[in-house]
Amino acid sequence: MEKYLTGSEEETFNLGVQLARKLGPGTAVSLEGDLGAGKTALVKGIAKGLGVRDTITSPTFTIVNSYEGDVTLHHFDVYRIDDPEELYEIGWEEYFNPNDVCVVEWGDRVSQMLPPGALRIRILRDETQPDKRTILVERQDQE
């Protein structure tokens, strides 16, 4: 497991840029953390690191946004998913292919649907210092 500490939204974004260097085509990422933990800031950094030039927005109501960069990034937000079967209706399985990178916010809610070996990134807020984050990165199959 890798552990990182950030002290601002900008540092979380910059960590995302660094982490993107480790995400080759075919990588799936489960992004976990409370509301306001910094998941979207991290995704914005990952997108920049993958060469995406578009503005990244949270796909809370659309479930998935796709962006072209050096590789295609599919950014999911499954917070509002009540039944995982809803994901099959949008072609969930087709997004997870050997050419693209998939980042799933709230991935812990659908962990059984993620491919084996998905990268798990957990963002934990420091209760005493509101801008501080501990970010843990590990492969799901290493738990």
| pLDDT digit string, tens, across residues 70-113 | 999 999 999 999 888 889 999 999 999 999 999 999 999 999 99
Which residues, other chains included, contact 103 with Cβ-Cβ below 8 Å and sequence gap of 6+? 29, 31, 43, 46, 73, 74, 75, 76
Question: Domains in the chain and their CATH numbers?
Answer: 24-133 (3.40.50.300)
pLDDT above 90 covers what percent of the chain?
Answer: 80
If we measure between CA atoms, which residue out of 59, 60, 73 comes closest to residue 17?
73
Q: Give pLDDT, residue 126.
A: 87
Q: Give pLDDT, residue 130.
A: 84
Give the global pTM. Answer: 0.92
pLDDT confidence tier of residue 142, bands split at 50, 70 and 90: very low
Average pLDDT of the chain, as a whole number: 92
How far, in whole angstroms, is CA 94 from its chain's centroid? 17
